Amino acid sequence: MTKITYIDHQENSKTIEVENGLSVMEGAIQNNITGIDADCGGSMACATCHVYVEDEWLSKLPQAEDAEQDMIDMAFEPKKNSRLSCQIIISEELNGLVVKTPTKQS
């Protein structure tokens, strides 16, 4: 289990323990985190799982593949630290990961 902190656009924070091997999106869905809808179920076709990854964690993630980056480009207010949470697979190394959800996803 790995601790992940989800922060919404109003700075409400929720830290939960998520099973390793799941995605950050799946952890959110299983724990009723608002702001991550995941309409496509994780197939990189919706961007409703868009999150901003805190800078200190960004370098610990594998780089986004082209398909993920293309979808991020179509997301609401993409930033340099934007990722699709369905593509971030949880492991021990990500213990303490902090992600924020954009304003539009609430």
Which residues sit at the interface with ligand FES, rule CB under 6 A? 25, 38-40, 42, 44-49, 71, 84, 86
Output the six-digit token pair for 81.
């630290």
Positive/negative CA dihedral, 45, 50, 54, 55: positive
To ligand FES, the closest distance from the beta carbon of 42 in angstroms equals 5
To ligand FES, the closest distance from the beta carbon of 21 in angstroms equals 17
To ligand FES, the closest distance from the beta carbon of 75 in angstroms equals 9
| Residue closer to ligand FES (CB basis): 25 or 53 | 25
CA atoms in the 13 A half-sphere facing the CB of 89: 4
Dmax over CA atoms of the chain, in Å, equals 32
Residue showing the smallest CB distance to ligand FES in the complex: 86
Of 86, 72, 94, the residue nearest 29 (C-alpha): 86
| Residue closer to ligand FES (CB basis): 11 or 90 | 90
